[in-house]
Chain A
Amino acid sequence: MKLGNYQVKLEKKLRVGGWEAAGISILAILIALLLVSVIFLEAKVNPLDGFTSIFTYAFADQFGVPLTINRSIFILLCTCAFIVPIKAGLWNIGMAGQLYGGALAAFGVAYAFGASPSGSQNLTLAPGLIIPLMMIGAALGGALVGAIPGFLKGRFNTNEIVVTMMLNSVAFWLVAFMIKDGGPFMGAGGEGEGFILPPSLDAPQILGGPYTILLALLLAGFLYFMFARTKLGYQIKTYGQSPSAAKYAGISPYNIPVLVFVIGGLLAGLAGYHLFAANPGVYKITQNYGDFGDLSFYGVICGLISLENPLAAIPIALLFGGLTSGARFVQGELQMGFGVDYAMLGILMITLVAFQFFYRNKIVWKKLEKEK
């Protein structure tokens, strides 16, 4: 293409470095914010005021910060749940279903040991044991939901995207059955919510936040290490690069899909546990649990933006966690129209994904020689 005296060409990039990717992402965020300004201007709000409010609430407000952290932990776990299968070239779009599975299993454990909708306090096991069992239960519950698409992929080569998506619906209605009118996990008030955990089963806190923050950070670090250094990580990556080459090298084309979806489901199950059973002030499967299923899809976006790197996913999850809470706050605070927060996040996501183009291509300018 010619632009004035310049020849403009697209060239393929062989590989993108970590810092370069970070730079591209930051540029994308700045451009997204510029685009979002249009929304603010349309609503007759000074964009600068708008952004200041969003970021102040998200990262420097006594009510906003805990919300941001809770959301970020959730998104980080969902991102990890997406990253493990995508390293094997498989798409986990079923974090929602897996986190519902995890939540149901966690509350199932509590239920089994005496916690009940009637608010009975007669626990049959020490709370100090029930709490870790709930966490393990959630992990297994998520893993079980994840194992289904993994098994179907490994054994019958079904499309994992379709299966995970459909299981989201199955799990969604299963939760509805369990917590709504007459369901075994129905709350005492019967407002379409699950029962509230007895206070003795409230998850321990660290510095005023849920302990799951440590869990999420440790898991992200562990996954990074797993993919960088271990035999298992190598097998998964190799399968993801080329299933036929992996088969040649003796890596089982059955086991890897099962394994990555079990791990992915496990991580999403923990996200469900965090959200409903370890999040201060919640401790129940809420009426709007479906919204959190939707929120889990940020895991896909964060996973792609971080270039499948669990450590790089941490700041990105924090950003999205902050923006989801900040944008909703600003919408009320500045009396803007309904859905502004979604519009904002939508713009951000589209811009970030569009800028991935520059991970693979670069634009080259060359001054044209004057025609003789």
Chain B
Amino acid sequence: MWDEYLFPASVEEALEMLEAHGGEARIIAGGTDLVLQSQRGQCLAKVMVDITRIAGLDHIEERDGLIYIGARVTHGQVAASPLICSRAGVLAEACGSVGGAQIRNVGTLVGNVVNALPAADGAIALFALDAEAEVAERTGRRWTPISTLYAGVGLCTVDPCAAMITQLRFRALGKGEAGAFERLAKRRALVLPILNAAAVVGLQGDKVAKARIAIGPVAPTPFIAAEAAEALVGRIPHEASVTEAAKLAAQAAQPRDSLLRGSAEYRKAMVEVLVRRALWRAVEAASLQEGEDGNS
């Protein structure tokens, strides 16, 4: 385990602490992954810089059509947020499926992203929402698409010993837009997924104007089924077109045989099922949205 545990009062102070310890210090939020990694010798940092007491990192708010989520926000807070439930329901679903209540109370969404595992439920939804992350370094802050954070299994391009992510943002779902999250696992709670899928669709009239499908774990990083989503755009989302898109997603996904998760064959077949169900629910919810508002 580590030798020092620090509570910076600001992002700047956190970055200073990281720099001062020259690679021996790293950022910690809830610690639900890091504590275990440290115990198992997979995380060698000797100094922990805890960001959970920094003011200004605990927001879930909407500004100019964008939803911002701070680095301190837990999965539980995301799942319970009325704003997220109404304007980004797919993310609430995803965060609500992580671990058990205790894990959701402590583990942060940003922490989940930084942990960079391909099956992370929250991250899959963020990919479907085309989210961006704000990276804070000594040189300043910048926004970057979430996909740029993933270098491989467990590898984040942001070095937690030198920088931190301060918040996430994505466009709130509006009229005619909705998302859905599907998950397959070995039991119904407190378990990592065999497979998860998030779909976000936007309808214009009776046709799909935009679609985004994210799937995990079928690759070293969260997987965007671009071809499948593209195949839906401009079409009426009936059973046939949705199924076709789901099939394309399954074709593109390349899961491997896993002793604990199941065979590649099964998981590939399940990609079609989960994507189809996620798309279908998203389409239904998006149609309702349109109907309620009266005009498209």
Q: Do A and B bind each other?
A: no
Interface residue ranges, B against A (CB under 8 Å): none
